[in-house]
Amino acid sequence: MTQMPEGPMNAPTRRRLLAGAAALPFLPRPALAQKRGGRLTVAADSEPPNLNPAIIASNGVFFVASKVIEPLAEADYRAKDGLAPRLATSWEGAADGRSLTFTLRQGVTWHDGKPFSSADVAFSALEVWKKHGNLGRAVFRELEAVETPDANTAIFRFAVPTPAQLIRNALPALTAVVPKHLYEGTDIMRNPANQKLVGTGPFRFAEWRPGEYTRLVRNPAYWDQARPFLNEIVYRVLPDRAAAANALEAEEIQLAAFSAVPLADLDRIAKVPGLKVYSNGYEGLTYQLVVEINHRRKELSDVRVRRAIAHAIDRDFVVRAIFRGFAATSQGPVPKNDRVFHATDVAGYGFNPQRANQLLDEAGYPRGEGGIRFRLRLLPAPFFNETRQFGDYLRQALAAVGIDATIVSNDTPAHLRAVYTDRAFDITVATPVYRGDPAISTTILFQSGLPAGVPFANQYGYENPEVDALIKQAAATIDDAERVRLYNAFQKQVTDDVALVNVAEFSFITVARDNLLNVSNNPRWAVSNWADTGFAD
Amino acid sequence: MPLGARSEKFFGSFFQKRTSLLFRLLATGEGLAGLTMLAILLAVALTAPWLAPGDPLAIKGDPLLPPWQTMAHPLGTDRLGRDVLSALIHGTRTTLLVATAAAAAALGIGITVGTIAGFLGGWVDEALMRVAEAFQTVPAFLLTLALISVTGPRVPTIVLGIAIGAWMQPARITRAEILSLRERDFVAAARVIGMRPLEIAFREVLPNALTPVVSLAAVIVAAAVLIEAALSFLGFGDPNRVTWGSMIAEGRTVLRRAPFLSIIPGIGLVLTVLAVHLTGQGVAKALRTRRIAA
């Protein structure tokens, strides 16, 4: 195998540097030589039947598809605007917010040999992202036309002024470009290429054996000729979390992302020689642990009761005991790691059961028989071990201030129906995802007037005209600084109202063999293209 | 059985027979061991609020304390810092409650259906037995799981779910016993004095058919304990109560780090099922000696 040195060799200090990397997510990664070749086997827990990232922006899809189909730009720790170019090499928004011009990369070919051009971008934007994208639909709603003056330029034209900042923040997750020649004139949702992917990425889709594995192979015609380093990536289906840890130790797999190894097992895994734990590389997909509140319930419509609930929760305990330290406490709807939008001056609700009791007394709910003020139905989302455990914790935390919560457990479809369609809950434990811009999937949690049945949205009966006005105004504001100001005001307002209780921000853990290099080196690493990842020489 | 035994008299002799059965049961080694273990478990279940006061799900200490370290938590704590000993004690309650209630319900449904089918015969028998067979074609656990995923996991639905999966065997055994008894002279005599068919079935015939069915109770209780644990393990238990199955499920995520969290409730399950099985064996043995003596 040819050696591809990427920088000065400093192998002797590698262990020590890497050992600290988990604690310091932004530590500059030592540049090391990775060799060309090798097969990387990774743990996969699900096999989405539709793998088209242009339609389904979800981490389960991206985990595989991002290696095959590329977006216009990818998130980056250091580059300008936090974006590294992929299929677009540069982008420029017009001052009036009505157009955005992309300069596209030249010399790119699809995996089937056809050349890539601006026509593919125009088709993807208008026919796929805007019409079928689960999140793209909202972001590109006002996209009117895409002009293609030449093969390397695409000009997006919007019907109303659209913030360039929002489109930029949406580039990594919502702009996967699919080949026009395979999709044009077909039923896009049923196109076979949604499963047998054809893209421009560093890896080609080779085969899918349901229940066994999905295999990707190196694209020898990748536009960055120095990359990728790996010959193959194999996603082995290991739905049992305990199996992933064992497979890593047995060297059957070399990488387990998305906390496939249970957090509780990490202390032990971290000590296994040859394995390394990364807690960074997920900043672009922060999950938020929140308590959703049904404002239609009489007791909960009182802001004092909601504040009491916020005060009853010991966030430090949650981070320490449930997330074993791999999370951060949270007080507002924008996570701390978004240094542009995160507002620091929001109302904080520290752990204070005394204050909570006092607020509940003031609200007119004295302790009755058995010390109980009132009863609630608590529906913990069944999505993660941690949401269930937090449900158990929350029941105890509320009992301490005289609120008797009965846990109602459901499977995922029943939970989604109960909360987002039937609204048959009092409080729930949920995990909305923050995707780099409040307008992508966060403001929808607070905006009023949504029809029943829209999941992961405000089905809570929270209504504040001021908040609605701020959301509307910010969506049409094209000045970056003004947007930030409006979203700060928005965060302040919703935390004052305790529309939801934000408890913690968590992401995931990657465990990999320590001879695998360039792991977790961008904010969306697990769902990026892995072109620079390779085994140490 | 003397001809024309009236019910009061009959039940009197039935209970007399029971007590002597109890002595014979205690005389067998299995029966003595099983009953002693069951008595201890029952005592723990009944005195749980005094043995471990307060909510067993309350967070009492640091998470994941190992056992035998502090007096406050002799069996350690789980991932959220809940006391394992109180959970174990209160788990005994749920386990025994669900298992005995489910077994009682299964026997109740089974005996009723079996008696009606066996005594009335004809199309009623055909219809009821076809229904029982239909239920028997589906594995009991899947039946229970399906019922609970529709109705939601609460103790009454779990009891009903387990009973729905277990009533067929008592029904068939009762029916077989009734079939052999209904042609006896005392049944004919009861008909002559003008008793209605169902009255004869339940007051005259059933008590004589009961003994082999009751010895089936042990098997059903043991199965119910395990089904309840399996349901809780899969997350279909009542989340507001502690059960041994949910303790094992909770401990599974930290199996390598804190195996005691799964092992301790596992020992509880083993002992309970063992106690029930030993008692069942003892009952069978005692019944055999009675038959030989008779």
Model confidence over B129-141: pLDDT tens digits? Answer: 999 999 999 888 8
Cβ contact, residue pair B57, A392, below 8 Å: yes
Rounded distance between C-alpha atoms, residue B155 and residue B243, angstroms = 11
pTM: 0.79
**Which residue in B58, B153, B257 is closest to A268 by CB distance?**
B257
CB atoms within 10 A of CB A16: 9
Write out the residues of chain A at the interface with chain B, using a CB-CB cutoff of 8 A: 241-242, 245, 262, 264-265, 267-268, 320-322, 382, 385, 388-389, 391-393, 395-396, 399, 406-411
A2 by Cβ neighbours in 10 Å (0-12 / 13-18 / 19+) ranks as exposed
Residues of chain A where predicted confidence (pLDDT) is lower than 50: 1-30
pLDDT score of B19: 63
Helix ranges restricted to H, A99-216: 118-123, 130-132, 136-139, 164-174, 180-183
Domains, in order of start, for chain B? 93-293 (1.10.3720.10)
Probe site for chain A from B257, B260, B262 (most A CB atoms < 10 A): B257
pLDDT, position A202: 97
| A389 with B58: Cβ contact below 8 A | no
Looking at every residue in chain A, the average pLDDT score rounds to: 88
Q: Of A242, A321, A391, which has the smallest distance from its Cβ to B79's Cβ?
A: A321
Structure confidence at residue A1 (pLDDT): 33
Say yes or no for a CB contact (<8 Å) between A391 and B239. Answer: yes
Using left for φ > 0, alpha for ψ between -120 and 50, and beta otherwise, residue A301 falls in alpha
pLDDT of residue A25: 44
Half-sphere exposure of residue A102: CA atoms within 13 angstroms, side-chain side: 31
| Helix or strand holding residue A1 (H, E) | none
- In this predicted model, what pLDDT tens digit does every residue of B98-149 receive, in sequence order? 999 999 999 999 999 999 999 888 999 999 999 999 999 988 888 888 888 8
Report the gap between the CA of A202 and the closest CA in chain B (Å): 36
pLDDT over 80 (residue B15): no
Instruction: Determine the Cα angle at A498 with ends A495 and A504, to 5°.
Output: 75
Choose the closest CB to A409 out of B55, B79, B239: B239
Minimum-distance CB partner of A264 among B55, B149, B253: B253
Closest CA in chain B for residue A319? B80
DSSP E strands, B131-289: none
For chain B, which residues lie within 8 Å of any Cβ of chain A, measuring from their own Cβ?
A: 55, 57-59, 63, 79-81, 149, 152-153, 235, 239-240, 252-257
Structure tokens at B37: 């273990």
Query: Which amino acid is located at A97 in the chain?
Result: G
Q: What is the pLDDT of residues A432-476, one digit of tens each?
A: 989 889 998 899 899 998 888 877 889 999 999 999 999 999 988
Q: Which amino acid is at A505?
A: E
CA distance A478 to A458: 25
Residues near B179 by beta carbon (within 8 Å), at least 6 away in sequence: B118
Which of A273-277, B200-204, B242-246 is least confident? B200-204
User: In this predicted complex, what is the ipTM?
Assistant: 0.75
- Distance CA(A98)–CA(A147), nearest Å, equals 13
pLDDT confidence of residue B286: 81
